[in-house]
């Protein structure tokens, strides 16, 4: 599974780390591959934004090993699920897909959260303060938890 945002230093690394946490807690980390990427190449090789790391650390997650990378079209074929953090990323990913089966792999993260109240986009906290990063992490945690709860039975049945 690949989580995708713009630069791969704020939202998508949060989602990657949170999913990895749920998989590990369920004893399924050997069955779940969680990674992240950005649609752009501005931050390739950089660590996650310091505010991302602070938000993660405050909730007991470790994002310190993350290094930003850009999404590649090869990931469309290699991934079972590609999770976009907002509709802009979803459009870009679907445009990059040449096969309908690859387009069908793209989903919006908040579409998994039954409490999202029609909100489809996880806001980009990059130009905001720490409080926004904390709020965004909360949104991501709820949606990733709901996503994992949907996937867990299928993951367990193939173990």
Q: Which residues in 1-158 belong to E strands, given as ranges?
A: 2-5, 35-38, 82-84, 106-108
Instruction: Tell me which of 10, 11, 113, 142 is the catalytic residue.
Output: 11
Instruction: Tell me which of 31, 124, 134, 135 is the catalytic residue.
Output: 124
Helix, strand, coil percentages (3-state) for the chain, rounded to 5, are: 45, 10, 45
Active site residue 5: yes
Distance CA 18, CA 57 (A): 11
Spatial CB neighbours of 82, under 8 Å, sequence gap ≥ 6: 1, 2, 4, 75, 76, 93, 105, 106, 107
Distance CA 22, CA 48 (A): 20
Q: How many CA atoms lie within 13 A of 46 on its CB side?
A: 16
Active site residue 11: yes
Active site residue 142: no
Distance CA 77, CA 99 (A): 9
Q: Cite the active site residues.
A: 5, 11, 124
């Amino acid at each position: 599974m690949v989580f995708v945002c713009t630069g791969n230093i704020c939202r998508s690394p949060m989602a990657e780390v949170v999913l990895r946490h749920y998989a590990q807690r369920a004893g399924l980390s050997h069955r779940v591959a969680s990674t992240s990427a950005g649609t752009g190449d501005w931050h390739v090789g950089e660590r996650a934004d310091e505010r991302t790391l602070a938000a993660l650390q405050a909730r007991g997650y470790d994002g310190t090993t993350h290094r930003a990378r850009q999404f590649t079209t090869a990931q469309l074929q290699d991934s079972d699920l590609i999770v976009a953090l907002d509709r802009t990323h979803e459009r870009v990913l679907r445009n990059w897909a040449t096969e309908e089966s690859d387009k069908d792999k793209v989903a919006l993260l908040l579409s998994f959260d039954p409490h999202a109240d029609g909100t489809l986009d996880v806001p980009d906290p990059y130009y905001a303060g720490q409080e926004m990063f904390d709020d965004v992490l909360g949104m991501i945690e709820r949606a990733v938890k709901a996503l994992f709860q949907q996937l867990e039975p299928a993951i367990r049945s193939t173990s």
